[in-house]
Structure 1
Amino acid sequence: MSFTSWRDVYLAAGSRGVSTCGDFLAATSLALVLQQRGHAGIAVSGLLIAAALPVAVLAPLAGRLADRADSRTLLVVAGLLQAVVAAVLAFTSRPIAMIGLVALLACGLAVTQPTLAALTPAMVRPEDLPRASGLGQVASSIGALAGPALAGLLIGTAGPRPALLLDAVSYLALVAAALLIRTRRRPHPSASSPVVPWRLRDDRTLTTLFVALFVVIAGVSAINVFEIFFVRDTLGGSATVWGLLVAAWTAGALIGSALVSRVPKRYFTGPVAVALMAALCLPIVIAGSVDNAGWLFPLWIAGGTCNGVLNVMCAVILAERVVPGARGQAYGVMNAVAQTANMLGFMVAGPLVDHFGPRLLVAACGAAGLLAALACLPMVRSAVRLAPPLAPVLGETGRAGASVEG
């Protein structure tokens, strides 16, 4: 594609923001419903696992599907099915049924995430990709901030059903955007041979980058479990302070996503991405030494800002290193890495809380991520030096071609 379709970029970003808001709206609403009805913590844990496990397991398969099928068809069908499931969820009261329906919603998310991610590079010129990816991340961050707040408002005033029905509407917004977006990825009509599967191990730079990403995400995810004990018990912060701190990291990610378009394109490299991972972990390490919850706000905003820049940088690096016809697979693998790391962080964090102090756990998680990033930095540098030129990758169309309808 030789030009940038900002209309399509804004439609895709808007749909991501609305659907992300719906996802967080539903997750927060269901967790509150289970807690209010007196269900055990295992029910809430099962809900979180149901939301993450299908994305982790199905992401590679869904990524291949994103490369083999028409992007518009995938987004419309998945969005409609998710809307139906969300509507049924609004009238469901049994925890087991809720968990099963949430897992079905996550199956749809496993398809739409790599489809949208692979579609964005097809909408823009290479030099506009950082800005386009940043817009998508900004929209997602706004949705992540708005979803929980909206859930609390609706649950408190109208009950859970309107919140879950609004989630169903958010999926219909994704369907509408898919129908309006002119850029489409679809199997190239002249290709008769099967798509060659993309393999992460064939790219040493991305392999090392993903290893570092896995460890850092696992550590940061564990912080989500330790944070409430650290803020409330160790630092004596109020429930309001804890809630604001949760939002502070997302607000930082919003800032980072908005600023990333100002970063020169030459800095979108593997070593810089790993350095950002280290910078992301440093505020968490420092947090282990503070004696007042107020100090966590600038630290969390700084970490979130690095997180926002890193998200966009990884998306751009992936788009540049993978042939267009395999980008769905690549983004699917990256989603699987992120979701698996999230689940690992949650699973490991729970038992640790009962045996170690929150301050030690917060500092240790940050230090583990920092050391992992620093250990991977020389390996990524070495891989970049040994990597072949990217010109053939950027110039190859692949089987899944992109087209724009007038």
Structure 2
Amino acid sequence: MSARRPPREGQDTVGPRPAAIVWVGSSSFRGRGVGFRPVAGSGQAAQRFRGLLADTRPLRDDNFRRLWVANIITVIGAQLTVVAVPAQIYAETGSSAYVGLTGLFGLVPLVVFGLYGGALADVFDRRTILIVTTLGLIGTSALFWLQAAVGGVDVWLLLSLFAVQQAFFAVNQPTRSALLPRLLPPELLPAANSLNMTVFQAGAIAGPLVAGALIPVLGFEWLYLVDTLTLLATLSAVVRLPPLPVIGALAGAPGLRSVVEGLAYLRGHPVLLMSFVVDIIAMVFGMPRALFPEIAHLDFGGPDEGGLVFAALFAAIPAGAVIGGVLSGWVSRIERQGLAVIWCILVWGVAMTGFGLAVGLADRWREPMLVAALLMLVVGGAADMASAAFRSSMLQAAANDSVRGRLQGVFIVVVAGGPRVADVAHGAAAAAVGTAAAAAGGGVLVVVGTVVAALAVPSFVRYRITRPATP
């Protein structure tokens, strides 16, 4: 496969231009240009509508398309396991305290191996890392199946298997994200990230629904078996990737020093550092999911063990992300990506404020306010999807290839850790001031914090990429 270089990317205030990236994309991207080229004879309304739909040009690359299609298959299986593990633990123990330990056993390896996995991805061939970690994920899923089939397994074995699985996942994900700029030209990274996130969020909705329906019928072992088999599709796509050695790779074996060097890299690149800061602001202050059980029960009259309102609240943000992904054609036309991130997070903050206000008015107008609350969560989910697509693209395009894996590791840690910190903060705030005030106040803090951050680091707002000239 011949190597080609991507069109020159614009760099505004990120710092020195990254080293040249050998782009190994395998398909031509002629055709649909930046945005949408009108089709002869089509109406203007139809043209504008097509321009809103997701930009699918990244799927013209054979390698990206195989990975993306495989992800459609595997994400449902992965979500089946995510649901089955706590459900099996509760079935074995009857204790929510043991179920709560899945958060600890999942977060610790995610943080440790997310950072270390990024360092690995900056030393070794990224295709090799993906093959090894995918085999690890297949192996742990097979062990989940085996223990469920045998029956009567100790809960600590379940938790340990879950921790090992999360460790493989934490190494796999930064590597997978870090290789995208080697497959696609810079102007298609926002579209590629939007496509990936749309599939993930769709799985976050469908997986729990499917698992909830199948567990009473088929049992846990079949869900684990489905996850094991669907991962074979990912393995097939990964094996067919070209070799992806790191350009300017670190010398020697990666260790703590290389992780620290990756974090130090951010200090010299304020735009990249701010991409993490604004996400922390959005998630820590603005993610109210810990309040959903109480809101569903006390404010909207659902049963205390869950029910339809409870499920709808949890599904609304992922549903908004899916809708935002389907209508994400505009992200490929944005050059000022830093400003776009700011606006997306402001919309998220306003939406969470609106959600809190709707909850506060539920005692007067329960049904209309439930609709309004769900709508606010959907809007917030769409805004968060766009923000994540832009921030991922900035990290992938603006950083040197030799440090990109470690930055993606930090990205995984921030994305996973922020909502968990939010759970603690919102729970404490709700105990003091009530759920409505906690949710609405968090949204206001998101808006204030984002404005302050934008004013403090104007280079982030000015960051832009330059699109190649359309022939």
User: TM-score normalized by structure 1?
Assistant: 0.87
**What letter is aligned with 2:158?**
M
User: Are 1:118 and 2:178 matched, yes or no?
Assistant: yes
Post-superposition CA distance 1:169-203 (Å, at most 9, x none): 23332212101234x42145x97956984321111
Match in the other structure for 1:16: 71
Q: Could you say if the C-alpha distance between residues 390 and 353 of structure 1 is closer, same or farther in structure 2, counting changes exceeding 3 Å?
A: closer
Question: What is the letter of the counterpart of residue 211 of structure 2?
Answer: A
Counterpart AA for 2:393: V
Contact 1:270 1:380 in 2 (8 A): no
- Relative distance call for 1:302 and 1:193 in structure 2 (3 A) is same
- Asked whether the 8 Å contact 2:285–2:443 carries over to 1, the reply is yes
Larger deviation: 121-130 or 364-373?
A: 364-373
Aligned-partner residue type, residue 186 of structure 1: P
- What residue identity is the alignment partner of 1:134? S
Instruction: Select the structure of larger CA radius of gyration.
Output: 2
Aligned CA distance change for structure 1 residues 128 and 192 (closer, same or farther; 3 Å): closer
163, 168, 177: which is aligned to 2:228?
168
Alignment map for 1:326-405 (pairs within 5 Å): 326-383=403-460
Q: Residue 31 of structure 1 contacts residue 44 of structure 1 at CA under 8 Å; is this kept in 2? A: yes
**Alignment match of 1:84 (pick from 139, 157, 172):** 139
Q: How does 1:235-384 map to 2 (within 5 A)?
A: 235-237=300-302, 239-290=307-358, 291=362, 292-383=369-460
Q: Which residue of 1 aligns with 2:289?
A: 224
| Structure 2 unmatched runs, 5+ | 6-24, 28-60, 363-368, 467-471
Q: 2:127 aligns with which of 61, 72, 77?
A: 72
Contact 1:26–1:164 (Cα < 8 Å) also in 2: yes
CA offsets, 1:319-341, max 9 Å, x none?
Answer: 22101232111111111122221
Aligned length: 387
* Larger mean Cα displacement after TM superposition, 306-315 or 204-213: 204-213
Give the whole-Å Cα distance in 1 for the aligned partners of 2:207 and 2:226: 11
The structure where helix makes up a greater share of residues is: 1
Q: Give the secondary structure class of the aligned counterpart of 1:68.
A: coil
**Post-superposition offset of 1:107:** 0.5
Deviates more, 1:362-371 or 1:105-114: 362-371
Task: State the secondary structure of the residue aligned to 1:69.
Answer: coil
Deviations 1:272-309 (A, max 9, x none): 21221121121111111222312222211111110111
Normalising by structure 2, what TM-score? 0.76
Are the equivalent residues in 2 in contact too, given 1:256–1:305 (CA < 8 A)?
yes
Cα distance in 1 for partners of 2:109, 2:93 equals: 27
Judged with a 3 Å threshold, the aligned counterparts in structure 2 of structure 1 residues 358 and 125 are, in CA distance, closer, same or farther, namely same
1:73-115: per-residue Cα shift (whole Å, max 9, x none)? 1111111112111221231532221111111111011111011
Unaligned runs of 5+ in 1: 392-406
1:29 matched to 2:84? The reply is yes
2: CA distance, partners of 1:360 / 1:177: 47
Taking the TM superposition and a 5 Å limit, the aligned residue runs for 1:53-68 are: 53-68=108-123
* Distance in 2 (alpha carbons) for counterparts of 1:256 and 1:172: 29
The 1:261–1:390 alpha-carbon spacing in structure 2 relative to 1, beyond 3 Å, is closer
Cα distance in structure 2, aligned partners of 1:219 and 1:164? 35
